[in-house]
Amino acid sequence: MRGDWRIVERDAETLKAIGKRRTRNVLTNNALAKFAQGLYDPRQLTQSYTYEGAACPTIFRRYCYIVLGTGAGLPRSSDTNLFHTVADTARHPSLTRAGREVRYYRRYMPEEENGPTYTEAGIFEWVPYYEWVDEDTGVTHFSPRPYSYGTLLNHVLIDPPIEKTELKLVDFEITITFE
Q: What is the pLDDT of residues 111-164, one digit of tens each?
A: 999 999 999 999 998 887 777 788 898 887 776 778 888 889 999 999 999 999
Amino acid at 12: A
Give the list of residues 6+ apart from residue 99 with CB closer than 8 angstroms, or none: none
Nearest partner of 174 among 125, 103, 96, 122, judged by Cα: 103
Pairwise CA distance, residues 63 & 125, whole Å: 6
- The residues spanned by each domain of the chain are 2-177
Q: What is the pLDDT of residues 67-122, one digit of tens each?
A: 999 999 999 999 999 999 999 999 999 988 888 888 999 999 999 999 999 999 99
